[in-house]
Amino acid sequence: MPEFNISSGLPSYPSGLSDSDAALVLPLYRAINSLTQQLAVQSGAIQFSSAEQGSIDQFTKFTSQRTRKLFVKAGENLAFGNVVTLSIVAGKIVAHKADATNLSRPAHAIVDVPTGIATDSFGEVIFMQGKSSGITGTTFGAAYYLSTAGTVQSTPPVATGVLNQIVGIGLGSAGFYFDAEIIGRRVAHVYKYSASVLRALYTDGYYTDNAV
């Protein structure tokens, strides 16, 4: 039996009452205690014994995305699990599909609406970090990078003029942990561009050539 670290302060049974009076308030006691337990589960304020930990869902307490959500307006049709870039348009936060081939569209969030968000409609996204079931078929523990049209890829981009942004880690059958790297000018790749030039690619898509 798990230990709930948030308590309603009520006993499981209303003592000191006649059976008829207890029967009247018992449903209320149960409802309040049940609600308190659910609050503990959703906030992660719950402890399991070592024996219980071996038999429960290992992602039971993995709920950090619940405090990292925004309501956004879709600037185009967005599917569940699309990685999106955010901007302010007419005073509203608007989401478009992030795209590594467009330097002005880095990833900021991931769509968290199972039915998607239609153009000009509003819906929830997980901002910068959180667990998502919108991306499936990932390799557990593998890093994923921003690709095109709101998707991700498991190989890092190595072309010039392309964003090199890590956007999360695969969780296998449990989905995806979205963790968007903040885009800045950091070296992503260095290679010999020609016999006399060493090229350094940066995460923001730009590069410098150095004579060798």
Q: What is the 3-state secondary structure (H, E, C) of 144-186?
A: EEECCCCCEECCCCCCCCCCCCEEEEECHHHCEEEECCCCCCC
Q: Which residue range is the domain that position 152 belongs to?
A: 64-179
Classify each residue of 84-112 as buried b or exposed e, where b means 16 or more C-beta atoms within 10 Å of its C-beta: bbbeeeeeebbbbbbbbebeebbbbbbbb
Number of domains comprising the chain = 2
**Distance, CA of 156 to CA of 143 (rounded, Å):** 9
Q: Do 125 and 172 fall within a single domain?
A: yes
Choice between 13 and 125, residue whose per-residue pLDDT is larger: 125
Residues 94 and 92: their CA atoms lie apart, in Å, by: 6
Asked if 91 and 161 sit in the same domain, the reply is: yes
Query: In this structure, are 143 and 71 located in the same domain?
Result: yes
pLDDT given at position 65: 54
Same domain flag for 44 and 69: no
Q: What are the pLDDT digits (tens) for 70-101?
A: 999 999 999 999 999 999 999 999 999 999 99
Sequence-distant (≥ 6) Cβ neighbours of residue 35 within 8 angstroms: 8
Please indicate, yes or no, whether residues 48 and 82 belong to a single structural domain of this protein.
Answer: no
* Chain length of the chain: 212
Residues 90 and 170 in one domain: yes
Q: Is residue 90 part of a domain?
A: yes
Per the domain annotation, does 189 fall within a domain?
no
44/98 same-domain check: no
> Stretch 25-51: mean pLDDT, rounded?
83
Q: Letter for the amino acid at 199?
A: R
